[in-house]
Amino acid sequence: MILNLPYSALRAFEAVVRHSGFSPAAEELGVSQSAVSQHVRSLEEWLGRELLVRGARQSRPTREGEQLALAISDGLGRISDVCAQLRDKTRSDRTIVISCLPGFAFNWLFPRLIHFDLAHPDLSISIATDTGQHPFSGADADIGIRYGLGEYPGFQTDLLMNERLFPVCAPGLLPELHSIEDLFRHTLLVDENLHHGAASPTWEFWARQCDLNLPTTLRTRQLGQSNMVVQAAIEGLGVALGREPLVIDSLSEGRLVRPFPYLTQSPLSYWLVRRHETKDSQKVSEFLNWIQAEAKSQPDIPPVVAGSN
């Protein structure tokens, strides 16, 4: 049987013993010194024992008081720890951690997350950007969005979207781009972090698939992230090989345009990767349904701007 304990009085008494005085205990608890004194006195009366040796500057516990203070500290401390764990678990249950490439996060995912927040106000998204150079482990994320061939053994893998490849540039460069040969007068913007060997969606891959010959002399600028390639193109610093999901919004908004009609399918795609145990997770299911719907509703590639070639 658990006694109907005077918890406020017990807490006040423990604070007095820990601080060796009523004034600092009152400050910690946010009450008056008189209220703390009354709590301690009522506890002593309830127990029928003197618990403190009161002094002008300092109060110390009796032997029984010290024993009780330790029990309170241990008991309430353990209760506090359990409550903290439960609160953390609640927060964890409401948070979906997504691991994805910085370029995809910046150019495609971030602009669309407001739609998820509005539709699911009870859930929150945490984005962990990952270069993708190391295998997805599932230890620190609920879902991984990976760019590759879809080979992720040991994990549940679903196709999110394919991508097409085509040159893009700022509208101000259009008058100087009438044919592929005109590229020799411009800088080609290159993502230096494509580590997929022969499957990498490079300028050479695009030209080969479109049966085109790139100029033999080309200036290139290597950039460390795909979102930097897109931003450099928007600012007119060169011509980029557009990867559809990363440039579709800028094309739709007119910040980028297509100077040439040639496009081809990329050998790589975007994949949703997760542990098999997540199949019963409601929050994961809700995010997967949402992001797959967003991928399907992505606008089509705008046509080549008239008069650009």
Whether 233 and 240 have beta carbons less than 8 Å apart is answered as: yes
Q: Mean pLDDT over residues 55-77, rounded? A: 83
Are residues 127 and 76 part of one domain?
no
Q: Six-digit token pair at 105?
A: 């996060």
Are residues 168 and 154 part of one domain?
no
Whether 181 and 299 have beta carbons less than 8 Å apart is answered as: no
Q: Is residue 306 part of a domain?
A: no
Q: Is residue 303 part of a domain?
A: no
Q: Is residue 125 part of a domain?
A: yes
Each residue's pLDDT tens digit, 82-120? 665 555 555 457 889 999 888 899 999 999 999 999 999
CATH for 25: 1.10.10.10
Q: Is residue 307 part of a domain?
A: no
Are residues 289 and 197 part of one domain?
no
Three-class SS of residue 94?
coil
Each residue's pLDDT tens digit, 116-175? 999 998 899 988 877 666 667 667 789 999 998 988 888 999 999 999 999 999 999 998
Tell me what pLDDT residue 306 has.
56
Q: How many domains does the chain have?
A: 3
Burial class (CB in 10 A: 0-12, 13-18, 19+), 73: middle
Are residues 256 and 130 part of one domain?
no
Is the pLDDT at 51 greater than 70? The verdict is yes
Task: Give 205's pLDDT tier (boundaries 50, 70, 90).
Answer: very high
d(CA 287, CA 224): 29
Are residues 26 and 113 part of one domain?
no
Range of the domain at 39: 7-91
Are residues 246 and 174 part of one domain?
yes
Each residue's pLDDT tens digit, 1-40? 456 778 788 888 888 888 888 888 888 777 888 888 888 8
Three-class SS of residue 190?
strand
d(CA 102, CA 176): 32
Burial class (CB in 10 A: 0-12, 13-18, 19+), 123: middle
